[in-house]
Amino acid sequence: MTETARPSDDVTAPVEKIRGALLRYRVLAWVTGVWLLLLVVELILKYGFDVDALDFVPIAHGWIYFVYLIMVIDLAIKVRWPLGKIVITAIAGTIPFLSFYYEHIRAKEVKAQFGI
């Protein structure tokens, strides 16, 4: 009887589900970060130069951030993160460049914890 050692086998999702949730989270963290940078550019153009060329960006970023939140919660439930870690990871999608950093940190933690 040889099984892959995983912490708390009875309360965490199978490794394959965690791997899928982690991939979805990582993709959405990058997409959210890129759209957040586009939002910064849009705000600079709008309020600095009175150019409304990118007026679709705030709405698109809002919906992408919403999907990012769903992916954070999906991963958090599967790996059993505490509430504080969930909140900090969710807020990372609202500060330019922070989603890239937290994506790296969280991915490293989950991969180490579950041997992915």
Structure tokens at 44: 């600079």
Report the b/e string of 48-73 with b at 16+ CB within 10 A. eeeeeebeebeeebeebbeebbebbb
How much is the pLDDT for 116?
A: 84
Domain positions in the chain: 30-114
**CB neighbour class for 115 (10 Å; exposed up to 12, middle 13-18, buried from 19):** exposed
For the chain, the farthest-separated pair of C-alpha atoms sits apart, in whole angstroms, at 68
How much is the pLDDT for 11?
A: 60
Can you give the pLDDT of all 116 residues of the chain as single tens digits? 445 545 555 566 789 999 999 999 999 999 999 999 999 999 999 999 999 999 999 999 999 999 999 999 999 999 999 999 999 999 999 999 999 999 999 999 999 999 88
Look up the pTM and report it: 0.84
